[in-house]
Amino acid sequence: METQTSLVGKTALVFGGSRGIGAAAARRLAREGADVALTYVSAPQRAAETVVAIEASGRAGLAIQADSADPAAIKAAVAKTMERFGKLDIAVVNAGILMLGDIATVSVEDLDRMLDINVRGVFLSIQAAASRLGEGGRIITIGSNTAVRSGHPGSSVYAMTKAAVAVMVKGAAVDLASRGITVNNIQPGPTITDMTADHIEAIKPLIPLKRAADPDEIAGLVAWLSRKEAGYMTGSSLTMDGGMAL
């Protein structure tokens, strides 16, 4: 039975759900009652482990290999989710890459790769998911607090892509409002994931709370935005970074 807080009977697709924040979101959505499909690129074992965790919660899971730089793969992931579960209620767009480089030396190849995945890939994932979402559907993107606070050398391109996502969400929210679909963006600060492993300790002193986030903390906000009780919030970027962007 649907309530304000339950996700029982819902189906979610997490783009980039094999590890880190994406895997935590997939597990949390399953614990709250949703069946969950997830995409991965190069970590099939991690994706399989996440599916096992989903199924341990009593829900159905599905891992789909799909590169978010490939438009056809994004569409195929949505189609495979529909084929398996018959519907789509929640789309979490977590796929993204971090490639640091001074603006004077960053290569065109690195620039294009980040734009392809972090901007174009997010847009195409929203577009593909929205075509299948029903009334009251949810789209949640995972951005970064660098969209509002870029204070680290070498982060200019990454910050630019995350700022683009924050603006993109505003427009998508307006476009999809007539269908009752909400679109929101979470902007985590430093979070303990594979992507941040090399520099997380150096950043901790800059965080007012003096610690990095656990992916499960970000997943909790994903779950709330997925619920019926969050239905009046759309077009928002919610920064969750231990006070860094204050």
Q: Catalytic residue numbers?
A: 158
Closest by alpha carbon to 164, among 137, 144, 139? 144
Q: What is the DSSP letter of 107?
A: -
Closest by alpha carbon to 234, among 163, 160, 143, 136? 136
Neighbours of 65 (CB within 10 A): 16
**Helices and strands in the chain: count of H runs, count of E runs:** 8, 7
Per-residue tokens: 16 = 């980039």
Contact 140, 226 (CB under 8 A): yes
- Rounded to whole angstroms, how far apart are CA atoms 113 and 42? 16
- Phi, then psi, of 12 in degrees rounded to 5: -120, 150
Please report, for residues 139, 155, 170, 172, the alpha-carbon distance to residue 233 in angstroms, rounded to integers and kept in the order given. 11, 30, 11, 13
Please report, for residues 76, 222, 224, the alpha-carbon distance to residue 83 in angstroms, rounded to integers and kept in the order given. 10, 24, 26
